[in-house]
Every structure is written in structure tokens, then in C-alpha cells.
Amino acid sequence: MWIPIVVIGGLVLVYIGTYYLNKKTPIPDECKDVVDEATCTACHNFTCSYKK
């Protein structure tokens, strides 16, 4: 009973940890415009069309 909870809980913690660390690491300055372009051309994304 407790094994799935531990496994999922651990993975969630790992994910949130890496997500936070990644967010804290700044994107190199020269790449900023490239990132936006890539995010919006690579996938027809709802979040993209709503950001405009």
C-alpha cells in the first residue's frame, strides 16, 4: 500500500526540485530571443497563442 505512494511522492519531489533548480539557472543572455522563437514555432501551442 505505501510503496506506490513513496515512489510517486519521491518522483514528484525530484521533479519539483529539478524544475526549481532549472528555473533558478538563468538563460544565457544571447539566447533569450531564440528560446521564445523555438517555443512558439516548434509546437502549435495554446500557451503560445494566448501569450500574444
Partner 1 sequence: MTKKDNFLKGFFKENPIFFYLLGMCPALAVTATFETSLGMGLLVVFVLTSSNIVVSLVKKWIPHDVRTPAYIVIIATFVTVVKMLTEAYAINLFDALGVFLPLIVVNCLILGRAEAFASKNTVIDSAIDGVGMGLGFTLGLVVIGILRELLSTGGIMFGVYLPIGDAPITLFSLDMIINLFAADFHITDYGLKVFGLAPGAFIALGIILAVFQFRKSRKDRKIAIAKMEFIAEKKRIAAEKKKLAAQKLAKAGGK
Partner 2 sequence: MSFTLFATAIISAMLINNVILMQFLGICPFLGVSKKSSAAIGMSAAVLFVMIISSAITYTLYDLVLYKYGIPYISTIAFILVIASLVQFVEMFIKKTSKSLYKSLGIYLPLITTNCAILGVSEGNITNIWVNHIGDYWGGLLIALSTAVGTGLGFGLIIFAFSSIREKLEASDVPAAWKGVPISLVVAGIMSLAFLGLAGII
What is the DSSP annotation of 8-38?
HHHHHHHHHHHHHHHHHSPPPGGGHHHHHHH
* Choice from 5, 20, 30, 33 touching partner 1 (CB under 8 A): 20
CA–CA separation, 28 and 30 (whole Å): 6
Binding to partner 2, residues 1-52 (CB under 8 A): 3-4, 7-8, 11-12, 14-15, 17-19, 21-22, 25-28, 30-31, 34-35, 38-39, 41-44
CA–CA separation, 50 and 25 (whole Å): 26
Answer yes or no whether residue 39 interacts with partner 1 by CB under 8 A. no
Residues lying near partner 1 in the complex (CB under 8 A) are found at: 12, 15-16, 19-20, 23, 43-47, 49-50
